[in-house]
Amino acid sequence: MAMSTLVLYEPLNSLMDKSYYWNEYVRFYEQYWGGPTSPFGVWFGNEYESFINALSENLGMAKEEIEHCFFTRDEEGKYYVAPFGSKANLFFCENFIPVEWFVPFSEEDRQTLYTHWGFNALHYDTRIHIALDRMNEAEEIVSAVANQRPADLDGSSYTYLTDDLSKGLAELKTWLSGFDPSGFLVLNYGEICSVINPYSLERERSVEETWRCLRMLREGNYGEADSSLRALIQKWEDIRSYASGDLDKSTIQ
């Protein structure tokens, strides 16, 4: 099973009900480890147990009562938190990344990191208000296609755009609209990186491919958009099949 995630980081000062707790957590964590948490970090030996014991003592709480989070800070030193225990801050997807998850980002948001597992971690991050603007733009394009129903757009592609992608974008927008727009949205490929051929991972550009398809739709290049969309969907169906044990890895590009 290979998990990918969408992680939503809220401004720490917006978490009014637990702002003191998270401030103390962040302060201690940075003193202990010398920097913010990372979705790509790993624990070795008894590191985790030692950290929990020290954190419990510092906070004056039982270990069972401690809550954890990812956190980060921006260039101005402002902190953002994604609590682990809150489903509202995390979306998970098993063996797959849906196309609508690529829409909130641009290729400029792409970041890679070499991990202890021996493969490059891949993620994208952007501000929530920018993500919402991009999804609004994508929805306008899909809506125009739905109204025109172009003859050059294959029936399956048309249905995917007007049903699956449209529904997925609406759900993401509803989710994001409930949070401070200055927060961050992060797409973490996570364990999906171990599914993609390591020689192909550097060329993995589904965000760029998604927006190339949307631009072609907006410009009326429906035949090319149809081919690009079907290729993108097929790529992720192949990844899902391999991650599920139904396909040989050599076919994953």
**Token pair 């797409």: residue:** 187
**Token pair 């949205």: residue:** 185
Q: With b meaning 16 or more CB within 10 Å and e meaning fewer, what string describes 232-247?
A: bbebbebbbbbbeeeb
Say if 42 falls within a structural domain.
no
Say if 67 falls within a structural domain.
no
Q: Are 12 and 71 in contact (CB under 8 A)?
A: yes
Say if 61 falls within a structural domain.
no
Six-digit token pair at 175?
Answer: 């989710």
Distance CA 208, CA 218 (A): 15
* Angle at alpha carbon of residue 240, lines to 239 and 246, rounded to 5°: 95
DSSP H or E stretch at residue 200: helix 198-201
Q: Tell which wins on pLDDT, 153 or 134.
A: 134
10: which strand partners? Answer: 81
Q: Tell which wins on pLDDT, 216 or 17.
A: 216
Say if 140 falls within a structural domain.
yes
Give me the half-sphere count of Cα atoms (radius 13 Å) on the Cβ side of residue 238: 14
Six-digit token pair at 100?
Answer: 């609508």
- Residue 171, amino acid: E
Residue 252 has pLDDT above 80, yes or no: no
Distance CA 235, CA 253 (A): 8
- Report the pLDDT value the prediction gives residue 243, as an integer from 0 to 100: 87
Say if 86 falls within a structural domain.
yes
Cβ neighbours of residue 182 closer than 8 Å, sequence gap 6 or more = 11, 127, 128, 129
The number of domains in the chain is 1
- Report the pLDDT value the prediction gives residue 221, as an integer from 0 to 100: 95
- Report the pLDDT value the prediction gives residue 151, as an integer from 0 to 100: 87
Say if 129 falls within a structural domain.
yes
Say if 103 falls within a structural domain.
yes
Please list the helix, strand and coil fractions of the chain in percent, rounded to the nearest 5, in that order: 55, 15, 30
Say if 47 falls within a structural domain.
no
Using alpha carbons, select from 161, 175, 137 the residue that is nearest to residue 222.
161
- Report the pLDDT value the prediction gives residue 97, as an integer from 0 to 100: 96
> For 2-41, how does the pLDDT look when each residue is reduced to its tens digit (9 = 90+)?
889 999 999 998 887 788 899 999 999 888 877 666 555 5
> For 159-209, how does the pLDDT look when each residue is reduced to its tens digit (9 = 90+)?
999 999 999 999 999 999 989 999 999 999 988 988 887 777 888 999 999
Distance CA 121, CA 102 (A): 16
Whether the model pTM is above 0.95: no
Six-digit token pair at 73?
Answer: 């800070």
Distance CA 162, CA 66 (A): 44
Rg over alpha carbons for the chain, rounded to the nearest Å, is 20
Q: Are 80 and 19 in contact (CB under 8 A)?
A: no
Range of the domain at 198: 3-11+81-251
184: which strand partners? Answer: 9, 127
pLDDT band at 43 (very low <50, low <70, confident <90, very high): low
Distance CA 2, CA 194 (A): 8
> For 52-102, how does the pLDDT look when each residue is reduced to its tens digit (9 = 90+)?
899 999 989 998 899 888 888 888 989 999 988 766 888 899 999 999 999
> For 94-138, how does the pLDDT look when each residue is reduced to its tens digit (9 = 90+)?
999 999 999 999 999 999 876 655 557 899 999 999 999 999 999
